[in-house]
Amino acid sequence: MILCLGVAADPTFTAGLRALRRAGIAFRPVDLPSLAMRGRIRIPLECPADTVVSLDGESHRAGDFAAVWCRLVAVASAAPTDELAAASAGQTEALARILEFVPGKVMTPPLREASGFTKLLHSVALGEVGGWRIPETCLTSDPQEAQDFVRGCRAGAIFKGASATKTWATVFEPHHESRLPRLVHLPVLFQERIVGPDVRVHVVGGRSFGELIDSPVLDYRTVRGTNDYRPLVPPPEIAEGCARLTEHCGVPLLGVDFKIDRATDEWFFLEANSMPCFEGYDERAGGAISRAIVEWLVTP
């Protein structure tokens, strides 16, 4: 039996549930907003694995499940009352910690890979593990330093947020120079632009599933219908580096992002997401990613 923790409105979570159902695997889903509104968690301090999650008349002991599929999406900010927001935040924090102690396998353990709270540390630290180059990068709140860096980028520059908050990459254009003085209030991450296609490699328990994306815009996530998606078998050195990365991070699932320089064919590492939204990639891959997730969950 698989315990599934997530949000019913999250397409990636429901894609995982559908994959388990197609495979004929028994599972118990727990919707986190419903848990905050109508459920409770009882945590015995002497044995966290004996934690009991109760919702709508059903109680589930965490240690009774062979594995856990979880996507602990923070939903407290959307709660209708302060009381529910506090309950949701507390339950999410409790579950994240409890999942470090359950005896079974955990897909996407929330507390394992923490470098993503700052993108620069994340890319440098994980890029070194994989053995990959990263684009020339400048994290700064100094307008002059930013201007000097941008002007030194031969292929142009891009900029994006520096924290773990979801952000869109944007090409630095001449009209952005007038905004540089605002950097004194908030640092921004600048990078040399790598001109070429994107690659997303999903790694599941050491197995790699690659896709190459050619897009008319810098950030392919911002458009629909105009991107060219093609399956890609990662070169051995990339696949081996991705496998090392999952082992280093202590997580069985990663979505690893690269850019390929069109002029030199060199791969540049961008980031690795330990809770990737994989459903679109999985659909284009004929369900290969979700099948690998299910196989990982049910393999002793």
Beta-bridge partner residues of 147:
none
Is 75 among the domain residues?
yes
Starting at the earlier edge strand, list the strands of the sheet with 105-107: 27-31, 2-6, 67-70, 105-107
Domain identity same for 6 and 83: yes
Is 69 among the domain residues?
yes
Distance CA 25, CA 17 (A): 10
CATH number assigned to the domain comprising residue 57: 3.40.50
Which residue in this structure is represented by tokens 């979880």?
Answer: 70
Which domain does 48 fall in, by range?
2-107
pTM of the model: 0.90
Domain identity same for 69 and 26: yes
Looking at the structure of the chain, the number of domains it has is 2
CATH number assigned to the domain comprising residue 141: 3.30.1490.20
Query: Phi and psi of 16, rounded to 5°?
Result: -65, -40
Burial-class residue 177 by CB neighbours within 10 Å (0-12, 13-18, 19+). Answer: middle
- Do the strands 253-260 and 267-273 form a parallel or antiparallel pair, or are they unpaired? antiparallel
Is 163 among the domain residues?
yes
Which residue in this structure is represented by tokens 């891959």?
Answer: 285
Q: Along the 300 residues of the chain, how does pLDDT read in single tens digits?
A: 999 999 999 999 999 999 999 999 999 999 999 998 998 889 887 787 788 889 888 888 888 899 999 998 888 888 889 998 998 998 888 888 888 888 889 998 888 766 555 666 778 877 888 889 999 999 999 999 999 999 999 889 999 988 777 788 999 999 999 999 999 998 999 999 999 999 999 999 889 999 999 999 999 988 888 999 999 999 999 999 999 988 888 889 999 999 999 999 999 999 888 889 999 999 999 999 999 999 999 998
Residue 252 gets which letter from DSSP? Answer: S
- For residues 76 and 38, the answer to whether their CB atoms sit within 8 Å is no
Q: How many H helices and E strands in the chain? A: 8, 16
Is 248 among the domain residues?
no
Which residue in this structure is represented by tokens 């961008």?
Answer: 270
Domain identity same for 50 and 9: yes
